[in-house]
Chain A
Amino acid sequence: MEQFLQQLLNGIAWGSIYALIALGYTMVYGVLKLINFAHGEVYMVGAMTGYYAAHALGFAVEPSFAGLFVVLVLSMAACAALGATIERVAYRPLRSAPRLASLITAIGISLLLQNGGQLLFGADPKFFPSLVAPREVVRAGGLAVSNIQLFVFGTTMALMVGLQLVVTRTRFGRAMRAVSVDAPAAALMGVPVDRVISGTFMLGSALAAAAGILVGLSNPKIDPLMGLLPGLKAFVAAVLGGIGSIPGAMVGGLLLGVVETLISAYVSSTYRDAIAFVILIAILLYRPTGLFGTGQVEKV
């Protein structure tokens, strides 16, 4: 039983990461109807930025919660800027071009960041500094919860609640929802669509950066290609929850993390990475709008 609970906890931990990244995919898809293939790489950049920031500011040597907080904020800010830049340079010029061109460009950016990352950061894995000394905090029966895991849960919850508040209670959030539903109408109503889209990218990228830092804390080995698989899986999570739906991304991420971990632990671990893709295919074929999504009709 404790084994099961332990695996469940692991699943939720990974699920939170997927959820944070998935939120970026889903928000961008909502406002632009574009799959931002490069998003997984933003997560990687977040982890890398955290690594360099921690070393540069001396937090690697002297770990502290304050240091962790600073690194987190810095990384989120840097990736927000990166996200906005990508949007401005690569996606905005193609807004009126056929969808395929944007998709191909997104793939191009993804490749650029991966390979550029290998050039810039070196292809060898680095070890994210432990900014917090790991400590077992809770022990119930055979179940162990560490302070890092608590931090991961806590941060994820805080960020998701924060996002929910932004989306439902702020003007920006309303504007974002308006653009998601009908961009031309929103523009006619005076919504600054370009700024909203920029802001959406920044928000999503910041969340991905946070995910990168959290992963760095719990799985310290980081490298320039670390964004590939989690990025794809987070995308699957977004589709699972219903692409374009924010609660969908959260639920989808957690669900995927748990299912993946449990199947990997109890059925077969060699096929772990394939599970997400199998779920993807199943969703696309049987319920393409996902758990929370709404369908769209083409006019003849």
Chain B
Amino acid sequence: MSQLELAGITVRFGGVVAVAKLDLRVDAGQLVAMIGPNGAGKTTAFNVITGVCPPTEGSVRFDGERIDGRAAHQVCRRGIARTFQNIRLFRSLSVLENVRAALVGAHRSWRADVLRGAAWYDGEAANGAQARELLERLGLARFAAARADSLPYGEQRRLEIARALATRPRLLLLDEPAAGMNPSEKKALRQLILQLHREFALSIVLIDHDIPFVMNLCERVSVLDHGEKIAEGPPEEVRRDPRVIEAYLGTPDESPAHA
């Protein structure tokens, strides 16, 4: 049984079909990518998995349990975390607070916060320590007190990942994590993703439309175009697939095969 199973997912907004009969399987521990030109429906697929948007048809199963239609915070509690295409940090909170907020997540209790017994103080200390550790592992420790929106762009993306990891997921969805990065930043990010994949025993699904970035990273690539899956397989295979080349409107210079 796969860890994540999308079966026949279709998403219609009024007259527009964003995703059409999408089937996708991710096994535990896999590192895969979803690619495709802009508007192919990749983020919509993420939104369906994470409960932001209910599918018009089809089902999503995580560890065998149906999660489509569930509220986003419940999907998170079941072990799926994500980052966003347009960075969505808690802007007015500090870097550390962004992570702490996600660490507490579901476990907060207003009674405990107000009454503050001995256990509360221990909990706060543990929360702080765990958050700092996470920041260390993602190289953000020195920014801990800075406001989240004061960080350089690349660090903001890493903070989003740190925050997602704070929710202790088993499946991590990264929506265009390399967007807007220069080549050396992308290289560092690739290393980071591989490291996280190993150290946190995660399954990871990446969205990106940069083929070279996913080439040496993912074991399998699914290609979407206009809401449909048009190809799937190991990266080298996929990038030579004529349908994929056509979808990217490839001229010989621009086609993925020459990346």
Which residues, 199 to 220 on B, are CB-close (under 8 Å) to A?
A: none
Whole-angstrom distance between the alpha carbons of A297 and B84 in the complex? 18
Q: Decide if A120 is an interface residue (CB 8 Å cutoff).
A: no
Per-position binary interface string of chain B over residues 37-53, scored 1 when its CB falls under 8 Å from any chain A CB and 0 otherwise? 00000010001000011
Q: Decide if A300 is an interface residue (CB 8 Å cutoff).
A: yes
Task: Point out the residues of chain B lying under 8 angstroms from A300, CB to CB.
Answer: 43, 47, 52-53, 84
Task: Point out the residues of chain A lying under 8 angstroms from B53, CB to CB.
Answer: 300
Q: Taking chain A's interface residues, is the majority helix, strand, or loop, or is none over half, making it mixed?
A: loop
Whole-angstrom distance between the alpha carbons of A300 and B13 in the complex? 14
Whole-angstrom distance between the alpha carbons of A300 and B46 in the complex? 10
Cβ of A289 to closest chain B Cβ, rounded Å: 14
Cβ of B42 to closest chain A Cβ, rounded Å: 12
Whole-angstrom distance between the alpha carbons of A297 and B14 in the complex? 11
Whole-angstrom distance between the alpha carbons of A242 and B221 in the complex? 46
Report the nearest A residue to B84, measured CB to CB.
A300
Which residues, 78 to 104 on A, are CB-close (under 8 Å) to B?
A: none
Per-position binary interface string of chain A over residues 246-275, scored 1 when its CB falls under 8 Å from any chain B CB and 0 otherwise? 000000000000000000000000000000
Task: Point out the residues of chain A lying under 8 angstroms from B13, CB to CB.
Answer: 297
Task: Point out the residues of chain A lying under 8 angstroms from B47, CB to CB.
Answer: 300
Report the nearest B residue to A297, measured CB to CB.
B13
Cβ of B151 to closest chain A Cβ, rounded Å: 21
Task: Point out the residues of chain B lying under 8 angstroms from A297, CB to CB.
Answer: 13
Cβ of A89 to closest chain B Cβ, rounded Å: 29
Which residues, 117 to 164 on A, are CB-close (under 8 Å) to B?
A: none
Whole-angstrom distance between the alpha carbons of A300 and B84 in the complex? 8
Cβ of B46 to closest chain A Cβ, rounded Å: 9
Whole-angstrom distance between the alpha carbons of A95 and B231 in the complex? 46
Per-position binary interface string of chain A over residues 287-300, scored 1 when its CB falls under 8 Å from any chain B CB and 0 otherwise? 00000000001001
Whole-angstrom distance between the alpha carbons of A300 and B83 in the complex? 11
Whole-angstrom distance between the alpha carbons of A7 and B40 in the complex? 59
Which residues, 3 to 57 on B, are CB-close (under 8 Å) to A?
A: 13, 43, 47, 52-53
Whole-angstrom distance between the alpha carbons of A297 and B52 in the complex? 13
Whole-angstrom distance between the alpha carbons of A290 and B53 in the complex? 23
Cβ of B209 to closest chain A Cβ, rounded Å: 18
Cβ of A123 to closest chain B Cβ, rounded Å: 42
Whole-angstrom distance between the alpha carbons of A300 and B52 in the complex? 8
Whole-angstrom distance between the alpha carbons of A216 and B84 in the complex? 57
Task: Point out the residues of chain A lying under 8 angstroms from B52, CB to CB.
Answer: 300
Task: Point out the residues of chain A lying under 8 angstroms from B43, CB to CB.
Answer: 300
Cβ of B172 to closest chain A Cβ, rounded Å: 18
Whole-angstrom distance between the alpha carbons of A106 and B84 in the complex? 34
Whole-angstrom distance between the alpha carbons of A297 and B47 in the complex? 14
Cβ of A296 to closest chain B Cβ, rounded Å: 12
Whole-angstrom distance between the alpha carbons of A60 and B47 in the complex? 66
Which residues, 79 to 121 on B, are CB-close (under 8 Å) to A?
A: 84
Cβ of B84 to closest chain A Cβ, rounded Å: 7
Per-position binary interface string of chain B over residues 45-71, scored 1 when its CB falls under 8 Å from any chain A CB and 0 otherwise? 001000011000000000000000000
Whole-angstrom distance between the alpha carbons of A153 and B43 in the complex? 54
Whole-angstrom distance between the alpha carbons of A300 and B49 in the complex? 13
Whole-angstrom distance between the alpha carbons of A300 and B47 in the complex? 8
Report the nearest A residue to B13, measured CB to CB.
A297
Whole-angstrom distance between the alpha carbons of A193 and B47 in the complex? 35
Report the nearest A residue to B52, measured CB to CB.
A300
Whole-angstrom distance between the alpha carbons of A300 and B51 in the complex? 12
Which residues, 169 to 195 on A, are CB-close (under 8 Å) to B?
A: none
Cβ of B176 to closest chain A Cβ, rounded Å: 13
Cβ of A293 to closest chain B Cβ, rounded Å: 15
Whole-angstrom distance between the alpha carbons of A297 and B44 in the complex? 14
Whole-angstrom distance between the alpha carbons of A112 and B200 in the complex? 59
Report the nearest A residue to B43, measured CB to CB.
A300
Report the nearest A residue to B14, measured CB to CB.
A297
Report the nearest A residue to B85, measured CB to CB.
A300
Whole-angstrom distance between the alpha carbons of A300 and B50 in the complex? 12
Cβ of B82 to closest chain A Cβ, rounded Å: 10
Whole-angstrom distance between the alpha carbons of A297 and B13 in the complex? 10
Which residues of A approach B to under 8 Å, CB–CB?
A: 297, 300
Offer 6 A-B interface pairs, CB within 8 angstroms, sorted by A: A297-B13, A300-B43, A300-B47, A300-B52, A300-B53, A300-B84
What are the 6 A-B residue pairs with the smallest beta carbon separation, nearest first? A300-B52, A300-B47, A297-B13, A300-B43, A300-B53, A300-B84
